[in-house]
Amino acid sequence: MEVISSTQEMQQKALALKRHGRTISCVPTMGFLHEGHLSLIRAARTSADILVVTIFVNPAQFGPTEDLSSYPRDLKHDLAICEKEGVDVVFTPGTADIYPEGYSTYIEETDLSKGLCGATRPGHFRGVTTVVAKLFNIVQPDSAFFGRKDYQQLCVIKKMVKDLNIPIRIIGCPIVREDDGLAMSSRNKNLNPDERKEALCLRRALLRAEELVGAGEKDAAVIRESMVNIIEKEPSARIDYIEIRDGETLELVDRVEEGTLIALAVFIGKTRLIDNILI
């Protein structure tokens, strides 16, 4: 396994591989790898000749009051995991490699990025699309793998690739959960034991929503209210949003039907967690 931190070296390697007819798959991550990331790595492993995992905690997608400095990192452990999973190249640029002094070009998707996380994290998706477009140019993948845990992110990236005619296949992968149902996330590491228990309210709220839908309830307001009640029972929980939207257009809907997205973001203490289900 090769570990490359220079953007130039990574791009030259990728272009040389392409010239020799090799296909490349890419899994972009912010590191502190867990089973959720591994599911993407395993799916990507079988889809191309060369698998590149990128590890970069992207400052451009964090707001000024967000958790960039406390975002968990453990590069040594991440590299050991990648080695074990048969990753060919790990690309680990530094901030100055990606955003050198004087950097001034950004990519912005202006429709799907507006609501949900885009509304409560202004500038977040501009940071995401910019870094992902840059990683695509550097790594030159034929396919790239993203988790549905970040459902809106997946939609925004698919839209960017379509709108900008980027010749890369974007593949969405299912949410991987802990045994008790909590969606895996690098940020779970920042939960103390009490918060870890309270964090299960996200999953409980989604399961309750699913149960109501299963019992025939279609009114989005009723379903949302039942979720609010579950979250508000937890002393450390603060709702960032609970929203019910069309799973494709991401527009708000009044009625829940097949293809409806139920998504939520909740602060448990200082840690912001997200989760969702697609009906």
- Give the residue, chosen from 176, 191, 201, 242, that forms a contact with ligand AMP under the rule CB under 6 A: 176
Does the footprint of ligand AMP cover residue 149 (CB under 6 A)? yes
The 24-53 contact track toward ligand AMP, x by CB under 6 A, reads: -----xx-----xx-xx-------------
- Residue 172 C-beta: closest distance to ligand AMP, Å: 9
Total of residues contacting ligand AMP (CB under 6 A): 17
Does the footprint of ligand AMP cover residue 183 (CB under 6 A)? yes
- Residue 221 C-beta: closest distance to ligand AMP, Å: 29
E runs forming strands in 7-98 = 24-29, 50-55, 89-91
**What letter represents residue 18's amino acid?**
K
Does the footprint of ligand AMP cover residue 113 (CB under 6 A)? no
Does the footprint of ligand AMP cover residue 75 (CB under 6 A)? no
Listed residue (134, 120, 145, 131) closest to 58, CA to CA: 131
DSSP 62: S
Smaller CB separation from ligand AMP, 39 or 130: 39
Distance CA 16, CA 46 (A): 21
Smaller CB separation from ligand AMP, 201 or 256: 201
- Which residue in the shown chain puts its C-beta closest to ligand AMP? 147
Residue 201's CB is within 10 A of a number of other CB atoms, namely 24
Does the footprint of ligand AMP cover residue 92 (CB under 6 A)? no
Element holding 241 (H helix, E strand): strand 237-246
Q: Is the C-alpha dihedral spanning 83, 88, 89, 90 positive or negative? A: negative
Distance CA 254, CA 224 (A): 10
**Count, residues in the chain:** 279
Instruction: Assess whether 77 carries a catalytic annotation.
Output: no
Smaller CB separation from ligand AMP, 68 or 212: 68
Only segment of 69-77, 135-143, 168-176, 188-196 that touches ligand AMP (CB under 6 A): 168-176
Burial of 97 (0-12, 13-18, 19+ CB in 10 A): middle
Smaller CB separation from ligand AMP, 16 or 278: 278
Does the footprint of ligand AMP cover residue 231 (CB under 6 A)? no
Residue 271, Ramachandran bin (φ over 0: left; ψ between -120 and 50: alpha; else beta): beta
Q: Which residues bind ligand AMP (CB under 6 A)?
A: 29-30, 36-37, 39-40, 146-147, 149-150, 173, 175-176, 183-186
Catalytic residues: 37
